[in-house]
Structure 1
Amino acid sequence: MNWLLVVVGAMAGAPLRYLTDRAVQSRHDSVFPWGTFVVNVVGCVVLGLLTGAAAAGAAGSRLQLLLGTGLCGALTTYSTFSYETLRLAQDGARSYAALNATASVAAGLGAAFAGVSLAGALW
């Protein structure tokens, strides 16, 4: 029944990604893909918190399947990040493409480390 936990998490993560992406992007008048950037960073924080909680014994494997694999797997999107970065470069917005690639990786890693650190402080 582990697969069901993944499915339930993904059923929440996919619409949450779409709705968050649209809400964030509608507030910015820029070609920069803010919506994808936000969902990916939020997903990194959540996964960092979950990883830290699991390391401290505060989260079990079922919660990891539900939130880590299911929710975060559907919430975050490496393929859309890659596509949008490529699209920016092809459309002549090379500085935005470079900024998206650099900022996404840096912010994602920073968010994951912050999540792990926060979990360590909580548990």
Structure 2
Amino acid sequence: MNAVDPLAFLLLLVAGALGAGARYVVDTLVQRAWRRTFPLGILLVNVSGSFLLGLLTGAALALDDTVATVVGVGFLGAYTTFSTVSVETVLIAERGRWRLALGNVIGTLLAGVAAAGAGLLLGTVLTG
């Protein structure tokens, strides 16, 4: 078993803090402008994060392992959020908005998978 690189670990922590902060900023700005029940901010965060992780994965062979880990696990891991989607979906359903709740789950899954696929394809093409 390999020991953890202290510098990589520190970079991972910093990237995680930046990713969480970026999620908060994007979600807050979008929701303030959106002003509806549907959690568009978190949807945009998760779809953009899925695209970026696909792009990173497609380009991973051209990147240093530490860079790919710090960006993928640290920044993007903290930026995207499955738990927030889950909680917001339950809250929407509790208000009796079942169609909206179902749309949130299905929309997040389909858009996220499509974005990840597009990012993976682009990353592979760019690093060819």
Band the TM-score falls in, shorter-chain normalisation: over 0.9
Specify every segment of 5 or more residues in structure 2 that has no aligned partner in the other structure, as ranges. Answer: 1-5
Specify every segment of 5 or more residues in structure 1 that has no aligned partner in the other structure, as ranges. Answer: none
* Secondary structure, aligned partner of 1:117: helix
The runs of 4+ residues in structure 1 deviating greater than 6 Å are: none
1:47 aligns with 53
Structure 1 residues 60-119: Cα deviation after superposition (integer angstroms, max 9, x where no partner):
211122110000111011110000001101111111100000000000000100000111
1:59 aligns with 63
The alignment of Structure 1 onto Structure 2 pairs a total of residues equal to 121
For 2:10 and 2:82, locate their aligned partners in 1 and report how far apart those are by CA, in whole Å.
23
TM-score of the pair, normalised by structure 1: 0.94
Please report how far the alpha carbon of residue 4 of structure 1 lies from its aligned counterpart in structure 2 after TM superposition.
1.4
TM-score of the pair, normalised by structure 2: 0.91
Aligned letter for 2:58?
G
Is residue 27 of structure 2 the alignment partner of residue 21 of structure 1?
Answer: yes
Query: Which of 90, 93, 100 is the aligned partner of 1:96?
Result: 100
Q: Which structure has the larger Rg over C-alpha atoms?
A: 2
For 2:67 and 2:103, locate their aligned partners in 1 and report how far apart those are by CA, in whole Å.
34
Query: Which of 49, 73, 80 is the aligned partner of 1:76?
Result: 80
Identity between Structure 1 and Structure 2 (%): 40
1:10 aligns with 16
